[in-house]
A = this chain, B = another copy of it.
Amino acid sequence: MEDIDRKIVALLMRDGRMSYTDLGKSTGLSTSAVHQRVRRLEERGVIRGYSVVVDHEAVGLPLTAFISIKPIDPSQADDSPDRLAGVPEIEACYSVAGDESYILKVRVGRPADLEDLLARIRSSANVTTRTTIVLSTPYENRPMTA
C-alpha cells in the first residue's frame, strides 16, 4: 500500500468525518484525487466502513470484561462464534492460541448483568468461562501512526 493511502487512512482514523477537501489539503492532493483514492480503498476492502467512537459509560454500559471460553466437550464442533453471534453484549470475539479457544470482549451495565450474560454464554455455547474484569481503560482503538 502506498504511503499516501496510509496517510489518508491514518487521518480518517483520527476523524472519520473529515471532508475530502480537508483530506486533500492535508495530503497535498486535489479533492477529486483524494476522493478517488478513498473509493479505491473502500472497494479493495482496506476501508471496511465508518463508525462513531462512543463513551460506553455515557450510553449505560460502564462495565467491560474479557471472557475466555473453553468447550466443555473438546470433541464438539467448534462453532462458538456462530452460537454467540446473537448475544448483543458481545462486542468482539477472537479465536486464540493457548489453553482457551476464544476471547470475548463484552460490555454490560451492572455486575448482575454480567452474571446473567455468563450464564447465557455458558449454556448457549456449552463452554466454561474465565472472566477478567476491566477496571479502567487508559486507551483503546488508538489510531495508526501515519
Contacts and interface: CB of A to CB of B under 8 A. Distances in A.
Interface in A6-47: 6, 9, 12-17, 44-47
A48 B59 contact: no
A74 interface: no
Interface in A44-63: 44-55, 58-60
Contacts of A13: 51-52, 54
A54 B46 contact: yes
Given A94-B140, A143-B51, A44 B58 contact: yes
A39 B12 CA distance: 20
Interface in A107-146: 132-145
Nearest to A107: B144
Interface in A94-113: 94-98, 103
B51 A55 contact: no
Given A45-B55, A58-B45, A103-B132, A92 B142 contact: yes
A108 to B, nearest CB: 12
Contacts of A47: 52-55
B54 A9 contact: yes
Interface of A: 1, 6, 9, 12-17, 44-55, 58-60, 64, 66, 81, 85, 88, 90-98, 103, 132-145
